């Protein structure tokens, strides 16, 4: 077995174990393989090992790989910060966008989504750690719910839920507390009548904590593809 297939298998085992501990079905957690900085052939190896959804953070790098990999029909998630002058290529080439943090960007993505494509699946990014350097809307519930309501009115987007990148911590309790903020927000949105089903939280170092707090999509790079030479 190649290194990437082995990384994927180890990841699925971690997901299954954490799901068992949380009393959840392992099918309730999707694995997004974060392939940023890795070449197209690494994605092809992961595809051959059964992986179908890939996350990219750098637009031009992603577009170049998509050309090489057009034959696969992979599901592409844009997980990087969104510059408002890049909304058209993002809306054209991706299936999902995780980093919506202001209405303007959501409006531009909706306007730029090709009408023949299915709605772009989107997540609102929430800054659960309150770090000013990180992108994402502040977790104050009212603001996040207002943004969610507004995004739900846009015709070519489908709001699926929330995403977060918490401050890294080695402490499971701290990891869980940060993820719980996002899980609570999803619960509030549902109580307010929004039919959202996705929590994008958990990465290589904290996916167990995210699973214990109800994540439905873990974004894993290093544990599948190995260490990156740039972020
Ligand atoms: C790079 C990245 C990941 C993957 O991180 P790992 O620690 O390598 O698993 C997940 N989410 C986002 C938004 C990223 O930018």
Low-confidence stretches of the chain (pLDDT < 70) are 131-134
Query: What percent of the chain is predicted at pLDDT more than 90?
Result: 91
Give the Cα separation of 99 and 164 in Å (integer).
Answer: 9
Torsion of CA 38, 44, 50, 51, to 10 degrees: 30
- The alpha carbon of 155 and the centre of ligand 1 are apart by a number of angstroms equal to 29
Q: Atom 12, ligand 1: which residue's CA is nearest?
A: 79
Q: What is the token pair recorded at 58?
A: 């750098």
- Residue 129's pLDDT is 87
- Residue 128's pLDDT is 92
- Residue 35's pLDDT is 98
CATH number for 3-225 (one of 3.40.50.11900, 3.20.20.10, 3.40.50.1100, 3.90.1300.10): it is 3.20.20.10
Strands (E), the chain: 30-34, 53-56, 75-78, 96-100, 120-125, 157-163, 198-200, 217-220
Angle at Cα 173 formed by Cα 146 and Cα 56, nearest 5°? 55
- Residue 1's pLDDT is 83
CB-based contact 206:170 (threshold 8 Å): no
Alpha carbon of 90 to those of 37, 62, 94: distances in Å? 18, 10, 6
Residue range 39-81, pLDDT digits in tens = 999 999 999 999 999 999 999 999 999 999 999 999 999 999 9
Q: Is 126 helix (H, G, I), strand (E, B) or coil?
A: strand
- The alpha carbon of 219 and the centre of ligand 1 are apart by a number of angstroms equal to 6
User: Within a 10 A sphere around the Cβ of 28, how many other Cβ atoms?
Assistant: 13
Q: Where are the domains of the chain?
A: 3-225
Which residues are near ligand 1 (CB < 6 Å)?
34, 36, 57, 79, 165, 203-205, 219-223
- The alpha carbon of 115 and the centre of ligand 1 are apart by a number of angstroms equal to 30
- Residue 132's pLDDT is 63
CB-based contact 218:29 (threshold 8 Å): yes
- Residue 130's pLDDT is 77
Kindly give the number of the ligand 1 atom that is closest to the alpha carbon of 225. Answer: 8
Angle at Cα 32 formed by Cα 55 and Cα 148, nearest 5°? 80
Q: Does pTM top 0.85 for this prediction?
A: yes
Q: What is the DSSP string of 84-121?
A: GGGHHHHHHH-SEEEEE-SHHHHHHHHHHS-TTSPPEE
């Amino acid at each position: 077995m190649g290194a990437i297939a082995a990384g994927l298998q180890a990841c699925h085992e971690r997901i299954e174990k954490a799901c068992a501990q949380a009393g959840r079905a392992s099918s309730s957690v999707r694995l997004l393989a974060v392939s940023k900085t890795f070449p197209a052939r690494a994605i092809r190896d992961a595809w051959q090992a059964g992986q179908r959804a890939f996350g990219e953070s750098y637009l031009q790098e992603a577009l170049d790989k998509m050309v090489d990999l057009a034959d696969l029909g992979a599901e592409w998630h844009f997980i990087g910060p969104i510059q408002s002058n890049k909304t058209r290529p993002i809306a054209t080439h991706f299936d999902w966008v995780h980093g919506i943090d202001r209405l303007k960007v959501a409006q531009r993505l909706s306007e730029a989504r090709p009408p023949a494509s299915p709605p772009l699946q989107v997540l609102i990014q929430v800054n659960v750690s309150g770090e000013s350097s990180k992108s994402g809307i502040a977790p104050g519930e009212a603001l996040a719910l207002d943004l969610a309501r507004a995004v739900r009115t846009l015709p070519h987007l489908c709001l699926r839920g929330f995403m977060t990148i918490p401050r890294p911590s080695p402490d499971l309790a701290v990891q869980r507390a940060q993820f719980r903020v996002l899980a609570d927000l999803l619960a509030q949105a549902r109580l307010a009548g929004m039919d959202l089903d996705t929590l994008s939280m958990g990465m290589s170092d904290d996916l167990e904590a995210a699973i214990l707090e109800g994540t439905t999509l873990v974004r894993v790079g290093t544990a599948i593809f190995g260490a990156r030479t740039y972020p």
